C-alpha cells in the first residue's frame, strides 16, 4: 500500500495530495523510491488467535518507516513477519505475501533472509564477548576470516553506529561494560556489520535516556542512505522526528499509512487522530 490519503469527508474542500512513490516536485513527498518490502493481504495467526488482518503495506527503499499503535495492536508481529522471525514461535502461521525486492520471503533461505533483513530488539542483547567480537561475529559466520578485513569491518560498523570514538580504545573489553545506550548502538553496529539491506528495530530506545535516544535517532538518519529502516515505537514524538512514513495499527489492522507529517498534522482517520492526540480509549 502506498502512503496515501483518503478523501476528505466534505466535497467542498480539496482533497489532500495523493502520494505516489515516483512523484516529484511536490514538497515533502517521497520521491523516486522503490518498494524494498511489501506485505500483501497479510493475515497472521498465533494458533487460533488472529493478530493481523489483511495488511497491505509498502516499505520504501532508503526510507524510515515507523509503525505506531497501542500495545497488542500487531505492529511488532508485523515487523517480525518481515524477516520470518515469528517462525521461531510455535503455532504461528500466516496467509498472504511478504515480498523482499518482489520475491516472497517464504521462498528464501531463512538465514540468507535474516542477513539481508537485520533486527535490533527492545532490550539490547550483546553477546557475552568483547566489543570487537560482538561486531566480528556476523562477518565471521559469513566466511570472513582475514584479521585485517575483520578489523576494517569492525571499525566501519562502529563508525556507522557513531560508537567508534567511544570504544576504539577498549575493543577487547566485554560488551557488557558499556552503558545501556552504548550497548544498543553496539547491537545496531552488529546488525550493520553484515550490510543488511533492511534494518528492523523493535522499540530500540524504550530503555534509553534522551541523550542516548538522540544518538540512536541520529544514527538512523546517517544509515538510511544505505539501509531501509522499519521501526516500531511507542514514542510518537520519536516516530514524528525520525520517520518518513508512518503506519498506525489498531486491533491487528493497518488503520492508516501516510507521510509522517500528515499522520501528525492532519490524519485522515478519526482513530488515528484519537490515538496521536491521546484521546484513544
Query: Which chain residues interact with other proteins by CB under 8 A?
Result: 8, 10-14, 16, 236-237, 240, 264-267, 272-273, 276-279
Smallest gap from residue 257 Cβ to other proteins (A):
16
Smallest gap from residue 276 Cβ to other proteins (A):
5
Smallest gap from residue 260 Cβ to other proteins (A):
10
- Of the two residues 212 and 240, which places its CB atom closer to other proteins in the complex? 240
Smallest gap from residue 64 Cβ to other proteins (A):
18
Pairing state between β 228-232 and 198-202: parallel
DSSP-derived letter for residue 16 is P
- Of the two residues 159 and 241, which places its CB atom closer to other proteins in the complex? 241
- Of the two residues 56 and 261, which places its CB atom closer to other proteins in the complex? 261
Radius of gyration of the chain (CA): 19
- The β-bridge partners of 246 are 66, 258
- Of the two residues 156 and 234, which places its CB atom closer to other proteins in the complex? 234
Residue 11 buriedness (CB in 10 A; 0-12 / 13-18 / 19+): exposed
- Of the two residues 25 and 128, which places its CB atom closer to other proteins in the complex? 25
- Of the two residues 161 and 236, which places its CB atom closer to other proteins in the complex? 236
Smallest gap from residue 157 Cβ to other proteins (A):
34
- Of the two residues 222 and 277, which places its CB atom closer to other proteins in the complex? 277
Smallest gap from residue 266 Cβ to other proteins (A):
3
Task: Indicate the length of the chain as a whole number.
Answer: 281
- The three state secondary structure string of 78-116 is HHHHCCCHHHHCCCEEEEEEEEECCEEHHHCCHHHHHHH
Q: How far apart are CA 108 and CA 111, in angstroms?
A: 9
DSSP-derived letter for residue 128 is S
Smallest gap from residue 93 Cβ to other proteins (A):
36
- Residue-wise DSSP of 201-262: EESTTTTS-HHHHHHHHHHHHHHTTTSEEEEE-S-HHHHHHH-SEEEEEETTEEEEEEEHHH
With residue 28 as reference, give the H or E element that holds it.
none
Question: Is-contact 59 230, C-beta < 8 A?
Answer: yes
Amino acid at each position: 500500500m502506498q502512503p496515501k490519503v483518503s478523501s476528505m469527508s466534505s466535497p467542498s474542500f480539496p482533497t489532500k495530495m495523493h502520494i505516489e512513490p515516483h512523484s516529484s516536485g511536490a514538497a515533502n513527498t517521497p520521491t523516486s523510491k522503490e518498494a524494498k518490502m511489501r506485505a500483501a493481504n497479510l493475515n497472521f495467526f498465533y494458533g487460533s488467535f488472529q493478530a493481523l488482518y489483511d495488511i497491505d503495506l509498502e516499505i520504501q527503499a532508503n526510507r524510515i518507516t515507523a509503525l505506531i499503535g497501542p500495545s497488542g495492536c500487531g505492529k511488532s508481529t508485523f515487523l517480525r513477519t518481515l524477516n520470518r522471525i515469528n517462525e521461531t514461535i510455535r503455532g504461528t502461521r500466516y496467509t498472504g505475501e511478504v515480498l523482499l525486492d518482489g520475491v516472497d520471503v517464504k521462498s528464501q533461505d531463512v538465514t540468507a533472509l535474516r542477513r539481508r533483513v537485520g533486527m535490533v530488539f527492545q532490550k539490547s542483547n550483546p553477546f557475552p564477548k568483547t566489543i570487537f567480537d560482538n561486531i566480528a561475529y556476523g562477518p565471521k559466520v559469513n566466511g570472513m576470516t582475514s584479521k585485517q578485513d575483520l578489523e576494517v569491518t569492525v571499525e566501519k560498523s562502529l563508525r556507522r553506529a557513531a560508537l567508534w570514538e567511544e570504544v576504539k580504545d577498549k575493543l577487547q573489553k566485554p560488551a557488557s561494560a558499556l552503558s545501556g545506550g552504548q550497548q544498543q548502538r553496539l547491537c545496531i553496529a552488529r546488525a550493520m556489520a553484515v550490510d543488511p539491506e533492511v534494518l528492523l528495530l523493535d522499540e530500540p530506545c524504550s530503555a534509553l535516556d534522551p541523550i542516548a535516544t538522540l544518538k540512536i535517532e541520529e544514527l538512523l538518519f546517517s544509515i538510511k542512505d544505505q539501509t531501509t529502516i522499519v521501526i516500531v515505537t511507542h514514542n510518537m514524538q520519536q516516530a514524528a522526528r525520525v520517520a518518513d512514513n508512518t503506519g498506525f495499527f489498531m486491533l491487528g489492522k493497518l488503520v492508516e499509512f501516510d507521510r509522517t507529517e500528515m499522520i501528525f498534522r492532519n490524519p485522515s482517520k478519526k482513530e488515528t487522530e484519537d490515538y496521536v492526540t491521546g484521546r484513544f480509549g
